[in-house]
A and B are shown apart, each in its own frame.
Chain A
Amino acid sequence: MSQPANPQLLLRWRMLKDRLARYAVTLGGLGVIAAIVLIFVYLVFVVLPMFKPAETHKISSYPLQQQSQTLYLAMEEQGEIGMQVFRSGVLRFFRTEDGATLKEVALPLPAGVKVMSFAEADPASGVLAMGLSNGQVLVFKHVYHVTYPNDQRLITPAVEFPLGEAPLKVDEDELPLLKLALQLDEEQLTLAAVTPDQRIILQHLAKEESLLEDEVSWQATTLLVPHPRDEVKYLLLDKQQRDLFVATANGELSFYDISDWEEEPALVQHLPLIEGRQQLTSLTFLIGDISLLVGSSDGTIAQWFPVRGEGGKRVLTHIRDFDDLKTQVNAIVPEQQRKGFIAVDASGKMGVFHSTSHRTLIVEPVSSQAIRHIGLSPRADAVLLQDSERIYFYRIENEYPEISWSSLWGKVWYESYPQPDYIWQSSSSSNDFEPKLSLVPLSYGTLKAAFYAMLIAIPLSIMGAIFTAHFMSSRMRQMVKPTIEIMEALPTVILGFLAGLWLAPFVESHLPGIFSLLILMPLGLLFAAWTWSVLPSAIRHRVPDGWEAALLIPVVIIIGYVSVSLSPVLETHLFGGDVRIWLSHELGIEYDQRNALVVGLAMGFAVIPTIFSITEDAIFAVPKHLVQGSLALGATPWQTMMRVVLLTASPGIFSAVMIGLGRAVGETMIVLMATGNTPVMDFSVFEGMRTLSANIAVEIPESEVGSTHYRVLFLAAVVLFMFTFIFNTAAEMVRQRLRKRYGNL
């Protein structure tokens, strides 16, 4: 537009441009602000699904195709195919959608023999067994082959016989096996069975592969369990094949150690599982085979597991109760990948529970009749329920059962731990690991690190700021302030590196020196000051007021040097040559090389400039006439400082400390590098910690997107965000009020 034709047009063009710019800037500005808000919104958005209640969706139900009594109900991984085992020795595979039969397999039972009992090995293995009326056991396995013809998933069920199709002989007397338990793994097979004369037979088969031929033989050992011959109702064998639990109908449990095959099973404990007049109506392991789930006739499900007591002896202990089912518990089935379980009761209700978080996620009325069998899919996202007439097929949406207020912030009694505790241990290689997601040790570590950092930073920075703002000559101030402010820009990764690789070994080898420094430094400074005050005034007047800090620099260096070189001497004479040994022997204090002291020093260093800078500004901004008035009334400079200046500037100092605290809480690299990152809860200066921020940095790259662990780490980020946001907002409010007040003065 070189030569505007019409000035009117030009004006309108300019106005249009102006308006467009207004819109553009407003849009852009609001957009940026929205982006900032988005951070918080997104973090919360990721965290929220964890707190969504679990849901069930009924897909279908169909009448039971009763052949004979159902012994067992199961489902494959995808939840497409269900499987029933009948007492007649037939396995029926059916479509879970509509119950249509896909395949029926008759097990090769010897002629004229009846099925007396049924047992399931570790659910993940799919191994099942039947105890027969002739004292034999048939072991079989249901498997599902997945193929993709024409890019369509096709699941083909099949039955396999891991020990061959011939049944195994267990009882020499060929008596029927009334109860059965077994576990099978790569190396060995263990069986426990009860005969009508109430003997408990224990058989162990160890695999022996001969090197020459491709043949496998089993080396059998048979033992009898010394049992008081009451009627046995439940037999349980753990998958490590070390523990055997025998329960009677009235709730008496005997707990045997069968790990040693050379000897008779040792009774570890005999105890009642059920109090009062209730009946034991269901007993099963939780995944991992450590905990027992005990269902009783009043609808209570109790969790028990062995806890190491005095002398390392294992004592079966009652941990927690779930009492949201109100009538007799008919069956309990554990999930295969988490510490959750599903139970059904006599009134036709299904309950979904999680042990660690002690949550009842769902109680859903399914039928008007008692439900007898549960078939849970390995992913625990679908379930088949069977009452006396129908099968019901449900999908379950229950992705985050591990999370509850108590599992995040309370003490939880984890499996194999001696008592309830706060533990963070998020992952492990094994599938049946119990995730321990308490945020308490991490928050504790965060606050501990911040505390020690502030312990070092607050005195140094505030005292330094007082002197710099109020007493220092302006020429020196012009040099000092930028120097300390440059500190703020130092990358924390460098501080962390120095703390971890230089300071930590230095502190370790000069520990007495470091502590003597704490005492010697103030004393030495005072002594130097006093010496200065008695020097002849001719010398004193050569240095103008306000340069005291410069004078003290050599003093500080000398004191530091003396303390450090005194360290080996002190160590030899006071602590017998090695402080660390002395600490652990005399005081019982553990010493980690990368400990809270190192973190405190390094992070204190990082926080000093923040606090210093804001405090200094606040003190410097105190109106001069207040100071002059006070001095004119005869107060000493120090009195003026304490009574007038500090009082006026105190809100500013408060906000400085808040902002410093915010920085210390969120700092990542220093704690990551200067501590051992063990999530212990101990306030000792000589031990490390793990902070929320370091924990996020360490764990989030490995956590699976969308998993509970991932979302808990996001929650940790939200907690950090809130922490610092609250500190900073408080500080900012105070600072704004302060500014107004100075305006009035």
Chain B
Amino acid sequence: MRQHTVKWLKSGDPWIWLNAGAVSISLIMVLGLLLLILVRGMGYFWPSDVLDAKYRQANGEVIRLIGEIDSKEIIPAANARDNGYDIKGEEELVRYLMKVGNRDVYGNDFKLVLKIFLTDITYPEDLIAVERREWGNAYGYLKAVKENGKVVAEGKAAQQELAARIERAVVLFKQIRDIQKHDIGAINYQLERLRLKKRRLELDGVKDPAPYAAIEKQRQAIQKEYEQHRKQMAVLSERIRRDSMQIETMTGQMVEIPLQKVVRAYYPNAMGVWGKLGFYVSKLWEFVSDEPREANTEGGIFPAIFGTVLMVMIMSVIVTPLGVVAAVYLREYAKQGLVIRLIRIAVNNLAGVPSIVYGVFGLGFFVYFLGGNIDALFFPEAQPAPTFGTPGILWSSLTLALLTLPVVIVATEEGLARIPRAVREGSLALGASKLETLWRIVLPMASPAMMTGLILAVARAAGEVAPLMLVGVVKMAPTLPLDGNFPYLHVERKFMHLGFHIYDVGFQSPNVEAARPLVYATSLLLILVIVVLNLAAIHIRNNLREKYRSLEH
């Protein structure tokens, strides 16, 4: 045995195994990370059971707890003893983080509890969880449904009554939101444009009263329209305020929740697997299609998805032609020599320049210099409020286009280099001009390479946050950069972004504990987008290689 060991040690095999271990560790890190995000991100939408239990606190007092178990961890008992718990014998304890909700009543919607002091745990089927537009979830027992303050149903009957009335309130809420966002939003937009138009006339020194009168007339017409919407809103708000529900919380307190504040109410313990699955799907849909609530910590992330996609699309439109032209120049037209070699090195290096540097450049050059000058030349009427002289989606796209330019150039050049000489020479020999060869033969053959470059660029841009923080991303954009108001695409607007959303909600939000699951879900979505894009790029690249391999023979 000993001899074997000595020999084994001498052979260098242990080193090889250690190297193998490094690969294993790296793999586990990657897969573990993906798994972690997957589990936490997917778990966010699953309705967990709500328990009703008794809990003995550090001071010996026994209280009742209603809530979901959010997470659990193992802590040394000494830790709990320091907090005043009387624990003997145990060395390690299980500690739960319980979401008890009702932030408006208790002040804090999470509570740390030790498992051993939790007794009489039940999962009553009539426990209701209410998702609200403010103050997070509420948990308790439904006691009554009220209309205009008068009780209309109690006990079991209340459940059915509630479902119907919530549905009505939600429909009303959507109507109000539509009027507010679309109709009144459009009116405000038009009013602002009229104001600018008038200011423009004043600045141009127009003395003729006719155009002013026209503007005033338009303004009055719009004002009238606005009055109508306002009346309609008043009626709807009156109607939505009609109903409310009453629940009993874990402290025995009766809490009244107006239905206009309710997103949905459900009985998690009564749901079967299918019920939960349905709930899961509807939550998932809400997540990708709805707007954020409660300082971004709840609701959906649609504006962030939309902003990311639009920004990346504008960027693609800019970066593809520029990158391809530069690559074609470097590979096909430029005289290969020291200068071109240096340029190539420089372009390669730019891919390694920190993204924040691009952000600084974008802020200084695009936003302040270009934007400031555009404002002074074309938008004097809006001064001193900046139009383009402030961070916005156009500047973000331009900055990221610069950032991803090297990726596209390098990929396209690689594609051009792979095209066999024979193909080119054949075309030229048949009398085609250089342009025709390029246009008809070379570029089509290199198009998958360009595609790869573009996909990689998009993947990089979608995940980049640091430069965007300087040139256009905000935590909450009141309007999307694309809407129904002429000219439809508002490239000067600020926008929301998935990556920044993660940073903002995870680090800037006041209630990190409550926001964390949403951040995991957002991360998962972002990772999915990027991994899919990258896999697509890898796939295209591999196909491309196969294709040229066959060409070479």
A contact set with B: CB distance below 8 Å? 14-15, 17-18, 21-22, 25-26, 28-30, 32-33, 35-36, 38-39, 42-43, 46, 459-461, 463-464, 466-468, 471-472, 480, 482-487, 489-494, 496-498, 500-502, 509, 521-522, 525-526, 528-530, 532-534, 548-553, 555-557, 560, 568-569, 571-572, 576-578, 605, 608, 612, 636-639, 641-642, 659, 662-663, 665-669, 672-673, 693, 696-697, 700-701, 705, 713-714, 717, 720-721, 724-725, 727-729, 732-733, 736
Contact = CB atoms under 8 A, between A and B. Distances in A.
Contacts of A38: 365
Interface stretch (B145-153, B176-184, B428-436): B428-436
B507 interface: yes
A605 B14 contact: no
B281 interface: no
Contacts of A641: 12, 16
B433 A15 contact: yes
Contacts of A492: 463, 465-466
A76 B21 CA distance: 73
Contacts of B14: 526, 529-530
Identify whether the interface residues of A are mostly helix, strand, loop, or mixed: helix
B488 interface: no
Nearest to A522: B18
Interface string B433-449: 11110100000000000
Given A498-B36, A557-B28, A25 B329 contact: yes
Contact of B26 (A461, A466, A509, A672): A461
Interface in B365-393: 365, 368-369
A720 B16 contact: no
Contacts of B17: 525-526, 528-529, 532, 548, 552
Contact of A501 (B405, B433, B519): B519
B317 interface: no
Contact of B76 (A489, A493, A568): A568
Contact of A724 (B12, B78, B353): B353
Contacts of A480: 23, 27
Interface string B496-524: 00011011001100001000100100010
8 contacts: A468-B23, A497-B503, A577-B76, A636-B11, A638-B13, A668-B354, A720-B357, A725-B349
A43 B503 contact: no
A571 B76 contact: yes
Contacts of B15: 638
A481 B159 CA distance: 56
Given A25-B325, A463-B23, A529-B14, 15 more contacts: A17-B435, A30-B329, A467-B22, A487-B30, A490-B527, A492-B463, A494-B502, A500-B506, A522-B18, A533-B8, A548-B17, A549-B20, A669-B499, A673-B506, A673-B507
Nearest to B349: A728
Contacts of A509: 73, 75
Nearest to A604: B29
Contact of B78 (A464, A577, A659, A736): A577
Contacts of B463: 489-494
A486 B409 CA distance: 21
Contacts of B169: none
8 A-B pairs closest in CB distance: A29-B329, A666-B354, A638-B12, A491-B463, A577-B78, A529-B17, A463-B22, A668-B466
B509 to A, nearest CB: 11
B92 interface: yes
A411 to B, nearest CB: 27
Contact of B534 (A33, A489, A636, A728): A489
B517 to A, nearest CB: 11
B28 A556 contact: yes
Interface string B461-501: 01111100110000000000000000000000000000110
A666 B356 contact: yes
A452 to B, nearest CB: 16
A721 B354 CA distance: 7
B360 interface: yes
Nearest to A467: B19
B130 interface: no
A611 B482 CA distance: 41
Contacts of B364: 42-43, 46, 714
Contact of B466 (A471, A578, A612, A693): A693
B221 interface: no
A32 B328 CA distance: 12
Contacts of A713: 360
A573 to B, nearest CB: 10
A639 B11 CA distance: 9
Nearest to A546: B20
Given A525-B18, A529-B14, A700 B459 contact: no
Contact of B352 (A28, A35, A728): A728
B21 A556 contact: yes
A33 B326 contact: yes
Contacts of A569: 91
Contacts of B16: 467, 471, 548, 637-638, 641
Contact of B464 (A482, A485, A491, A496): A491
A569 B78 CA distance: 11
B26 A608 contact: yes
Contacts of A472: 23
Contacts of A672: 466, 503
A494 B37 contact: yes
B239 to A, nearest CB: 42
A710 B49 CA distance: 53
Contacts of B405: 32, 35-36
A524 B13 CA distance: 15
Contact of A605 (B29, B506, B507, B512): B29
Contacts of A29: 325-326, 328-330, 333-334
Given A18-B433, A467-B23, A721-B353, A491 B360 contact: no
B102 to A, nearest CB: 24
Contacts of B507: 497, 500-501, 673
Contacts of A705: 368
Contacts of A673: 503, 506-507
Contacts of B326: 28-29, 32-33
B122 interface: no
B363 interface: yes
Nearest to A552: B24
B31 interface: yes
B110 to A, nearest CB: 14
Given A467-B19, A557-B28, A568-B75, A529 B36 contact: no
B360 A701 contact: no
B283 interface: no
B330 to A, nearest CB: 6
A390 to B, nearest CB: 42
Contact of B91 (A493, A568, A605, A636): A568
B84 to A, nearest CB: 15
B25 interface: yes
A463 B14 CA distance: 12
A501 B533 CA distance: 27
Contacts of A612: 26
Contacts of A717: 356-357, 360-361
Contacts of A534: 1, 4
Contacts of A493: 463, 465, 499-500, 502-503
B345 interface: yes
A222 B354 CA distance: 64
Nearest to B466: A668
Most buried by A among B23, B330, B357: B23
B538 interface: yes
Nearest to B409: A32
A635 B197 CA distance: 84
